[in-house]
Amino acid sequence: MSSRAVKTTDEDQIRDLIENWAAAVRSQDIDGILKNHSSEILFFDVPPPVQSRGIEAYRKSWDLFFRWFGDSGVFDLSELNVTADNNVAFCTGLIRCAGRDRRGETEELTVRLTVCYRKIDGEWMVTHEHHSEPSSD
């Protein structure tokens, strides 16, 4: 098999993993969200804490998101780019999501996404995930 064929397969696998992750977020399926995440994940997020380490901290970060997210179901990926090698991969993209602000008004955000994967024991695992909101300045 050529290296290009392997690269395409790895890119396809990462694309499937990230699309399945987004579907799990939309359905608020925490087990689906955590799937393929390393127990030692490093996570940078929009709301505090801006840095979390480990799968339990990552899991906990979703509680705040789901309180805001409610039943909106808006968590759409766009401009997804995937780069993959035999053992390391990353993807970047944008997430359009919606929820309710403190006044109960619908609020929509576009958030930047970077996800880094490492192949561990033959499986792609998220080792770093970064969500950021562009500055309004």
**pLDDT of the residue at 109:** 93
- 3-state secondary structure labels for all residues of 101-133: CCCCCEEEEEEEEEEEEEEECCEEEEEEEEEEC
Separate counts of helices (H) and strands (E) for the chain = 3, 6
What pLDDT band is residue 17 in, cutting at 50, 70 and 90? very high
Query: Does residue 7 carry a pLDDT above 70?
Result: no
Q: Where on the phi/psi map is residue 133: left (φ > 0), alpha (ψ -120 to 50), or beta?
A: beta
9: confidence class by pLDDT, cuts 50, 70, 90: confident
For residue 98, the model assigns a pLDDT of 95
Please state, for a pLDDT cut of 70, what percent of the chain lies above it: 93
- pLDDT reading at 101 higher than 70: yes
Domain regions of the chain by residue span:
3-132
Does 3.10.450.50 match the CATH number of domain 3-132? yes
**C-alpha–C-alpha distance, residues 110 and 134, integer Å:** 8
The whole-number average pLDDT for the span 58-76 is: 94
pLDDT-based confidence at 2, cuts 50/70/90? very low
